[in-house]
Structure 1
């Protein structure tokens, strides 16, 4: 009975998967209780219908747009101080212990993060969003993925590298992309639609639609047809 009710709730929220018949009712009740507690916490903390985990820290909330049915898992830190409004699209999720850092130094006000609809990133994801990060719709990522959207300047040998400032181009991920665990995206990276990025890859460059990418540095391993 509870499984049928929960399945209807999932469909109503926009999810398309069916619950495995082997899932016990106890796990359904546990999940339902956890989601109710997270939603209550989100309403009380953010005044929005956001599923918010325990121990989260979200600064400058007024500069963040949360879509419908967004989930922020426990102990995630979101820095909302940025030139542009941060946005997390409908049905998207940020995994536990993740970090969204937009302005890490007072010498530069960061650009921020835009995350599309129905996208999900795993736990311990790090968004270095000072140079700007744009993630499309229906993107799924494993754990320990990191984004570094700016570079230190270093060409002037008469100055310390830390005193030469930074440059940034930003990072863009298209729609319908699967990113494996422990992938690193460097500044200037662009990944097209319907791509796969293999676990452990270091992405630095522009990759067209339908690419399977992997390696250090990443290169095209296959084109999907």
Structure 2
């Protein structure tokens, strides 16, 4: 199915009106061929204080620059997962990313947000060309943010059959396990206790539904957490 970019131009007032009626989430449509944001709903200005027109037509990197530095890396990695995915290319509904991260408002203060990105259009090679994202303010939606755990600042998953979200620290441990390092070596490299490494390893086995390390690495590679 094809979704003409003209449907999401700045003049798409009907689309903006529809979304403003049903949600406070910001709608962002991005052309992945050139990385430019082709449409941003007015909720972006309402929720975060930035003029919408200053972002429409800009590269998505301008939005990423608003994300807290500690949260940017895993978000970029999550997007790269999709770019590398070629399975089920005819079922875009199976390719989506859910994220939780901190976004800087025009006041300079960071606040927790959540987003979901769907991929609407794919090229002949199977790579996504057009994305539609929804971003909402967690505090506005839930009235609080204290339920967010520090070790799970960013959460993402890929597809219906994918595994549970993993944290930044778990991803670090996963990569070192895949590199063949022992729990003691990982603990030394990450400046954490060996017991903490073993706990992370146990959680990773559960999240990737693996019975052993070999199966953990295989499942992580299949779900694009490891290359």
TM-score tier after normalising by the smaller chain length? under 0.3
TM-score for the superposition, normalised by structure 1: 0.26
Higher relative contact order (Cα pairs below 8 Å, separated by 6+ residues): 2
